[in-house]
Amino acid sequence: MVEDEACEALRGVLPIGHRELRVQALIGTLSHSRAKFCWVSEDQSQLAWHTGHLALFERYCGVPLWVRIDNLKTGVASGAGPTAVLNRSYEVFARTCGFEIDPCRPATGSDKGKAERGVRTFRSAFGEVFRRGAGSLDELLWLVDEQAVRLMDRLICPVTGTTVAEAFRAEQHMLQPLPTMAEPFDVVVTRRVSRDCLISFEGRRYSVPFAWVGRHVDVWGTLRHVVIRGAGDELARHARGTQARLLIDPGHYEGPSTEEVERPTPLGRRARLQLAGLSSAARSALLLTPTREQIVRPLDDYVRMVEALR
């Protein structure tokens, strides 16, 4: 049995707290049980698109084998349907989570009938929740989830004849395990590691372990970090969007040589002090200064010697 999910995005202005906030709603519908959940965000960025998918998967308690989507730019870079060129970041995200992407054909509503029908159900069943608004986005998400559970207890699954809630519980056993992704990402690019163990990304340069010099690595941009990966493993992690334009981890230049790459020349004492910063070097110098008790000849003796030599 192949499980799939249809995703549809909506937008609207809602009262959130003491202000009117434009929000985007991502609706996911499981094909077999017709279980429907909704995730709300303030934008339609790539990061929000991936975060919304993870939120829906958590509500399903699993990941479908296939996800059918409309041809949004966050999912499809160009084209549509079978000939679509997928968004690179979304393609890597799907591979990481373990699902395949199935874009709809253009102007073919039947390709995502469950999602189209789900939008109408969404507007009627969830409309009152959105009209009332909430004190925060988190509260709104909680209210929407509560309404989704009530809706599943009331609606009938056309495939099984049971309630959607009962069909959903049976369908959950067919889903894949939830991904163990620490944080979603919105940018994925490939970069070649330069001879100085650096890669370029978003106008900054980041260090990579020297063993990867001359090789290509994948660079993931998450909300807070630049994650550099190679051979399926995480090689380095740096803060993203900092004021600094050069971010270096000294540990990336240490270790034994490999068959392909000779280790960098170890730093000398002065270079280590420069990397540590002036304050650290000053502290080290102070530690080398003898205490008053360790000074054998008093300062008055030196004064007398100077006076005698005049």
Specify the pLDDT at position 273: 63
Asked if residue 90 lies in contact with residue 75, where contact means CB atoms within 8 angstroms, the answer is yes
Q: Is 37 helix (H, G, I), strand (E, B) or coil?
A: strand
Specify the pLDDT at position 2: 42
All structural domains of the chain with their residue ranges: 4-174, 185-266
Asked if residue 58 lies in contact with residue 46, where contact means CB atoms within 8 angstroms, the answer is no
Specify the pLDDT at position 156: 93
Name residue, tokens 């399903």. 60
Specify the pLDDT at position 282: 55
pTM over cut 0.75: no
Taking the mean position of all CA atoms in its chain, how far away is CA 50? 8
Output the CA–CA distances (angstroms, integers) from residue 281 to 247, 249, 253, 266, 269, in the order listed.
Answer: 21, 19, 21, 18, 10
Asked if residue 124 lies in contact with residue 89, where contact means CB atoms within 8 angstroms, the answer is no
Q: Both tokens of residue 304?
A: 């007398």
Specify the pLDDT at position 286: 46
Specify the pLDDT at position 285: 57
The Cα angle at residue 279 between residues 275 and 284, in degrees rounded to 5: 85
Asked if residue 194 lies in contact with residue 201, where contact means CB atoms within 8 angstroms, the answer is no
Q: What's the CATH number for 4-174?
A: 3.30.420.10
Specify the pLDDT at position 21: 82
Instruction: Tell me which amino acid residue 229 is.
Output: R
How many whole angstroms separate alpha carbon 289 and alpha carbon 164?
78
Residue 287, phi then psi, degrees to nearest 5: -65, -30
Specify the pLDDT at position 66: 93
pLDDT below 50 — which residues of the chain? Answer: 1-3, 278, 286
Specify the pLDDT at position 1: 33
Return the half-sphere exposure (C-beta side, CA atoms, 13 A cut-off) of residue 112.
26
Specify the pLDDT at position 78: 93
Q: Both tokens of residue 267?
A: 């730093």
Rounded to 10 deg, the angle between the 278-288 and 269-276 helix axes is: 120
Q: Both tokens of residue 30?
A: 């499981």
Q: Give per-residue pLDDT as tens, 218-263.
A: 999 998 999 999 998 999 999 999 999 999 998 999 999 999 999 8
43: left (phi over 0), alpha (psi -120 to 50) or beta: beta
Tell me the DSSP string of 241-268. S-S-SEE--GGGG-S---SS-PPPPPP-
How many whole angstroms separate alpha carbon 110 and alpha carbon 219?
37
